[in-house]
Chains A and B, each alone.
Chain A
């Protein structure tokens, strides 16, 4: 017994290594499979508020460019106002249109934590369940799509950004639908790949890539434009390199999209499974 004790004491560094290494390893694996169900991430209240404090200061540094983009967006919205169109016809008929029903509402949120250099990237925003954010909602910026809401706490929410190997968004280019992929041999935060597009189709550089009707974003939300297409040998499909409209490195404000009809759709679709 004494000898065993002496053996442990003599090689204590190695046993301590094994002990702590196993703890970290189990934390790592548990955390990966449960998809960050634990509270130890940046939607945690304390860490979240620390990031918020620093962001207060950081916000000032990019005020000028934020102002420019907001002004540009204002101008764009003003152009769409009814008052900025002049009617040339003599007779005006008011049609009370009940065929259109509002499907999407937008909530403005501020990004308080952002990463682009990791293998899987996440964002944290300063809106949570108190403000009507729920899991699975889509998130866009003024320019293009950003990601999908992953976890929500009362005051904060974390977003799995497009720059994540498990985020797949259905997208279309010239009406052809494919899926958007990041992180498979490409880790540049400015580009994503569009896959599953038939290689006989003619896709030119500069063609717009937008979301399709199968995604949880409104159809036609901006994603980016084509910069390169590469035909693969064999399977008749091509990889299209897409330059993202959203600049993730300077992201400050995002919109969370609430699909008002999604509850109805999910309830209807779940009936199919029961039958």
Chain B
């Protein structure tokens, strides 16, 4: 238990630092912007209680918002993403599988499950993020293009970082 907390703590700081100091400066004009920090919420353990998951998602969002000067925006997107995560996991994973697979990583759950998981959660996060950033429905087409291109960028980065720390666990 203690080990899981420490690993997630380190992961949180690494991802926030990468997002704020490196990825904030990267982007294809205004169209494709990576938000890799959501990997922290993706990789939280299966057994986490709902209230803790929402609290962590909200505070991660607020931390990013303070650095981006967009208070509330990433927090809203992260809480919605946490909700989608709960639904998706309750549909696709049996409850008794929790003991030997502590967290939903690529190594533990296999490539096919993980790519669907990360794509759906990334798109839900980016959709909320970009619609609320715009705050009007007039430019819906432009917003959807931004959501799509940014999601491709983010998912690519998530897969790269998952393969970089890949560890195959016996199921």
Chain B residues whose C-beta falls within 8 Å of the C-beta of A158 in the assembled complex = 69
Interface residues of B in 30-82 (CB under 8 A from A): 30, 33, 50-51, 54-55, 57-58, 61, 65-73, 75-76, 79-80, 82
A20 to B53, CA, bound (A): 11
A16 to B72, CA, bound (A): 16
Chain A residues whose C-beta falls within 8 Å of the C-beta of B165 in the assembled complex = none
Q: Within the complex, what minimum Cβ distance (angstroms) separates B83 from chain A?
A: 4
DSSP class of A's interface residues: helix, strand, loop or mixed? helix
Q: Within the complex, what minimum Cβ distance (angstroms) separates A58 from chain B?
A: 9
Chain A residues whose C-beta falls within 8 Å of the C-beta of B69 in the assembled complex = 36, 41-42, 115, 122, 158
Of A17, A25, A31, A187, the residue contacting B54 (CB under 8 A) is A17
Q: Which residue of A lies closest to B128 (CB)?
A: A21
Q: Which residue of B lies closest to A46 (CB)?
A: B66
DSSP class of B's interface residues: helix, strand, loop or mixed? helix
A177 to B142, CA, bound (A): 31
Q: When the two chains form their complex, are residues B70 and A118 in contact, meaning their CB atoms are under 8 A apart?
A: yes
Known pairs A17-B54, A117-B33, A119-B134; A24 contacts B68 (CB<8 A) = no
In the assembled complex, A1 has its CB within 8 A of some CB on chain B: no
Q: When the two chains form their complex, are residues A24 and B72 in contact, meaning their CB atoms are under 8 A apart?
A: yes
In the assembled complex, A188 has its CB within 8 A of some CB on chain B: yes
Q: Which residue of A lies closest to B61 (CB)?
A: A24
Chain B residues whose C-beta falls within 8 Å of the C-beta of A13 in the assembled complex = 50, 54, 83, 86-87
Chain B residues whose C-beta falls within 8 Å of the C-beta of A119 in the assembled complex = 30, 133-134
Interface size on B, residues (CB 8 A): 34
In the assembled complex, B21 has its CB within 8 A of some CB on chain A: yes
Known pairs A54-B21, A118-B68; A24 contacts B33 (CB<8 A) = no
Of A17, A27, A187, the residue contacting B30 (CB under 8 A) is A187
In the assembled complex, B137 has its CB within 8 A of some CB on chain A: no
In the assembled complex, A12 has its CB within 8 A of some CB on chain B: yes
Of A12, A23, A29, A32, the residue contacting B75 (CB under 8 A) is A23
Q: Which residue of B lies closest to A43 (CB)?
A: B69
* A residues with CB within 8 A of B: 12-14, 16-17, 19-21, 23-29, 31-32, 36, 38, 40-42, 44, 47, 54, 115, 117-119, 122, 158, 187-189
Please, could you name 24 A-B residue pairs with CB atoms under 8 Å apart, sorted by A? Answer: A13-B54, A13-B87, A14-B83, A17-B83, A19-B54, A20-B57, A20-B58, A21-B79, A24-B76, A24-B79, A31-B72, A32-B135, A38-B71, A40-B65, A41-B66, A42-B66, A42-B69, A115-B24, A117-B30, A117-B33, A118-B68, A118-B133, A122-B69, A189-B29
* 5 more A-B residue pairs beyond the given contacts A27-B71, A115-B69, A187-B29, with a C-beta to C-beta distance below 8 A: A20-B58, A42-B69, A117-B24, A117-B29, A118-B30
